[in-house]
């Protein structure tokens, strides 16, 4: 039930964040008194390719200087996507700084209290500090090895709790941030802070879409971020306060979600990148099974202080180098092929037009996972290659529209984005479900013969039955 909406006019009277005050020289330290009785705060500026000059408080800068955060320089945002888009070599390091900046802009727009602003910015700064080697691909590795999902959020919380350099700086905010990131304690309840950091239209998406688009050299991820932040409102309901967007900004919300859809179709789901991801996942999983990589790091059971200490020593380069140096190893063979750009390619694609494929695509995910290995072996026989070099990929449709609260500033009524958006009213654009077969062509060749492709297709259909 609606009980109130924060007034836009009231928002314009809030104090400004350090990042919005007078700029100093790059790298300089500025000391300024803040309003609301806060002590003088020093800050440093970072020149960012996406947002320009970003100002971090001394408190935030000390978190950035911690070993756990510095490790993010070696964790690529889009692992090995530079093999497709050469410029895509950016890391989680700058993404987290960008997220902190946008969280500050959003919190300032909403007029949050200074203490809340500090905590929200800090949570955004460390929200991805737990990402393992290969970022989001690492999530699939954790999932395959442990059966758990959303592992990096739990590791981020463990780092905040147990990594002394970061935890001691965050001090009293550490546990609050850990709960927000894992959705436990106060974080289990929807709130303005949670919506800003990890909601349906949050600062995480805002930054990674703009950043990934910029470094990949495409425009698919661009949207009207200024209008989106300007349209942000706090709504007061019987369940508590949460983030909403003014009806006047609904096109900006559409542009964000449409950018997300296009980036998934054109960049994150690019057929060559999918093949790279399949090889990376298989290499790391094999490396753990072969004893080349520590299971306690890549398939953790206890997220304690000992785990955190060892975990922050691993990044993309160390993982790749460890596997590439292993002779007579399936994991090593996969990594050496990746480094030489010998990639598994999409050789057959089956869509819902085919009755057999349509039935298989609609099977439950757990069933597909159990059947996948057998299907890949059958296809490998037809292709005449080792099953290690064959992978099947289910591209199932996901709803591109997220439920975002929309508030009518004139009437105060609250509605759902999907009910009010003309573009997303029926769920928005969605790809056709499909199953793709990835395989590494024979050495010395870039493709399979026509006859072999026909055999692969037939084998895939048989496997899907």
Characterize the bridge pairing of strands 2-5 and 414-416.
unpaired
Digit-coded pLDDT (tens) for 2-46: 445 554 434 333 333 334 433 333 344 444 334 444 444 456 899
Grouping H, G, I as helix, E, B as strand and the rest as coil, residue 69 is helix
Q: Which portions of the chain are predicted below pLDDT 50?
A: 1-3, 7-41
Do β-strands 434-439 and 232-237 pair in parallel, antiparallel, or remain unpaired?
A: unpaired
CA distances from 147 to 140, 300, 336, 448 (A): 9, 11, 28, 35
**What is the pLDDT at residue 445?**
84
Burial of 54 (0-12, 13-18, 19+ CB in 10 A): buried
Rounded Cα–Cα distance for residues 341 and 269 (Å) = 18
- In the prediction, which pLDDT does 11 show? 38
Residue 114 has φ and ψ, to the nearest 5°, of: -50, -40
Structure tokens at 369: 């996972």
pLDDT score, position 33: 39
Residues 385-394 pLDDT 10s: 999 999 999 8
2-273: CATH homologous superfamily?
A: Hypothetical protein af1432 (1.10.3210.10)
Q: Are 100 and 125 in contact (CB under 8 A)?
A: yes
Q: What is the DSSP secondary-structure string of 220-283?
A: TT---HHHHHHTEEEEEETTEEEEEEEGGGHHHHHHHHHHHHHHIIIIIT-HHHHHHHHHHHHH
Cα separation of 44 and 63, whole Å?
13
* Model confidence pTM above 0.85: yes
**DSSP at 89:** -
Predicted local distance difference test score (pLDDT) of residue 395: 81
In what helix (H) or strand (E) does residue 152 lie, and over which residues does it extend?
A: helix 151-162
DSSP single-letter state for residue 157: H
Domain chopping of the chain, boundaries? 2-273, 344-397+432-465
Which pLDDT score, from 0 to 100, does residue 8 have? 46
> Tens digits of per-residue pLDDT, 202-251?
999 999 999 999 999 999 999 999 999 999 999 998 888 999 999 999 99
Specify burial of residue 152 (Cβ count, 10 A radius: 0-12, 13-18, 19+).
buried
């Amino acid at each position: 039930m609606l009980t109130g909406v924060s007034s836009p006019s009231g928002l314009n009277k809030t104090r400004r964040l350090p990042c919005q005050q007078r700029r100093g020289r790059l790298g300089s330290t500025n000391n300024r008194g803040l309003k609301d009785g806060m002590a003088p705060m020093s800050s440093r500026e970072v020149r960012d390719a996406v947002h320009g000059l970003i100002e971090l408080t001394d408190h935030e800068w000390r978190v950035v200087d911690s070993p756990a955060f510095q490790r993010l320089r070696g964790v690529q945002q889009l692992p090995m996507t530079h093999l497709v888009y050469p410029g895509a070599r950016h890391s989680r390091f700058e993404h987290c700084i960008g997220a902190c900046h946008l969280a500050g802009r959003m919190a300032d727009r909403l007029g949050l209290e200074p203490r809340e602003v500090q905590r929200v910015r800090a949570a955004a700064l460390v929200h991805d500090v737990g990402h393992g080697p290969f970022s989001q691909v690492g999530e699939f590795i954790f999932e395959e090895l442990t059966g758990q999902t959303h592992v990096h959020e739990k590791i981020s919380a463990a780092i905040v709790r147990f990594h002394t350099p970061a935890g001691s700086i965050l001090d009293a905010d550490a546990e609050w941030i850990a709960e927000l990131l894992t959705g436990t304690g106060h974080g289990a309840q929807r709130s303005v802070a949670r919506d800003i950091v990890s909601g349906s239209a949050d600062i995480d998406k805002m930054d990674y879409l703009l950043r990934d688009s910029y470094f990949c050299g495409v425009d698919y991820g661009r949207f009207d971020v200024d209008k989106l932040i300007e349209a942000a409102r706090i709504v007061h309901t019987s369940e508590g306060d949460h983030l909403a967007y003014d009806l006047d900004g609904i096109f900006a919300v559409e542009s964000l979600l449409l950018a997300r859809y296009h980036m998934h179709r054109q960049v994150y789901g690019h057929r060559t990148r999918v093949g790279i991801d399949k090889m990376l996942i298989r290499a790391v999983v094999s490396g753990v099974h072969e004893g080349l990589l520590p299971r306690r790091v890549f398939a953790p059971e206890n997220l304690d202080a000992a785990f955190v200490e060892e975990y922050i020593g691993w990044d993309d380069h160390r993982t790749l180098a460890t596997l590439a140096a292993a002779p007579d190893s399936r994991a090593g063979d996969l990594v050496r092929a990746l480094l030489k750009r010998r990639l598994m390619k999409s050789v057959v694609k089956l869509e819902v037009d085919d009755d057999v494929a349509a039935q298989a695509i609609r099977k439950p995910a757990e069933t597909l996972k159990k059947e996948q290995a057998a299907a890949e072996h059958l296809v490998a026989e037809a292709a005449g290659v080792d099953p290690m070099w064959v992978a099947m990929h289910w591209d199932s449709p996901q709803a591109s529209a997220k439920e975002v609260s929309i508030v009518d500033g004139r009437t105060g009524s609250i509605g759902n984005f999907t009910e009010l958006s003309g573009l997303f009213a029926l769920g928005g654009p969605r790809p056709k479900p499909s199953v793709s077969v990835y395989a590494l062509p024979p050495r010395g060749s870039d493709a399979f013969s026509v006859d072999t492709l026909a055999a692969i297709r037939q084998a895939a259909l048989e496997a899907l039955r």
